[in-house]
Structure 1
């Protein structure tokens, strides 16, 4: 019960940090703008290029509309994971550089701190997804699904695809959030953090670019296998699925694969975080993780002794 109470306090503290951050509301603006674009495509394009252009060269058929919807989903996945991942990395660095972590570790274990932090961010993701989903329903009632080409395409998307999208968003967030926190835990300042999380940002950028290639339909046989790679799966698997003909079996297979990868990465990330959060001037080498006499192990034991005294 005490462990749960400590973790819940970390969750509450994390949620308070998120709700006071500007980027959280910027993400709302991005999502609302995308939803508004979907349900007002004809009006927006007509106002910019004119009704005649909209009826001719700017016209979009049903197949292209589905591709546009998938591309917008890709953008949402990319920005949500990137902004939340960067935020959790900055939070870890602030706690460590300000020596706040030393006080926290006198009351909670690193695993509890990481679980509470990631859970707090996950709750905010779910809340945000619910608000944006409600806004989509509101827009569909106000504008009507038959009033716009993209709105019609969105209304014809199989509910199973939305299930895959939300599942990939949650699992992908858990993967990236844990790894971002683990890498950032080795940083002594914001400059170190930027260098350490740069590989993760590059992986996300690679996934985004591969997703665009897949959506263009110009990819080869490699596109059948690359989306299943760790850290790429949560972004790319929804892009390879057929929005209108996807089966529950395919949804289950994709989410199970993502879940297995998530569990493996969370296990590795948790171990890295436990070592990194109490180390200073050391870098995350996997062989070093098992050293019993590293400075991080000595620091951690010292904090636990102080906590029990």
Structure 2
């Protein structure tokens, strides 16, 4: 008990005046493999958290089970601020896409901060003759069997956007899940599947290189990183807005003072000019909200995801 109090005091102190005992590294669990958007955003957040707290932050990728392995590692840790998790919007709907997961993603974690959000890029196999969203929608409506979607993870923003597209096109398009963004995009580029929605970070270089065809951005407006690509609204699907967002969670029972200290450190760090420049290049923007607002965003995501999954009678895997 005394050790935990010292650690908590260290996290609450200003950088440079923490005690020697509180200088143990903070472990940031990332429940997905390296290389994707979640990992990239997590490492930016870890760097800024380390700078603001004056305490080493070590990123640990614990992939497996669509995020369950990393989530379990977090809830089994002590709520002392020394173990946190960096994940994405998928966390909010895990219990809707997986059967019998060993935790409640809404109530067994302590939301700390949402760090960034960004739209998705809608890409198609470049061998397909269709060059616009409207053409793809019409072709899929006419013969859905000619089309397939892939997604990096069930319940991800890309998966939910794919469901929404099928609903808008009135087409029952087969979903073929992959183990990661890179694997899914490689499948589209190889012609093994037809379509994918994914955060801009990974597919945009492949679009620029000709391996994929970029159709539209799921944002309210065009983005500086790819101003030539229209929004889904411009492409004929009004109100089609989806964002993948990223955040930091702790174990349930974290002291509110530690949550607040980390929340403010992340909000400050993610809005520094160097970070904002890096985020803009990746088509992301920082999010500045307190832990309560983050919790509300999680519950809003869960409600939207539940509704979309119900529309297609999705059965948890």
TM-score, shorter chain, exceeding 0.5: no
Larger Rg belongs to: 1
| Higher normalized helix content (fraction of residues) | 1
TM range (shorter): under 0.3
TM-score, scaled relative to structure 1: 0.25
| Higher normalized strand content (fraction of residues) | 2
TM-score, scaled relative to structure 2: 0.25
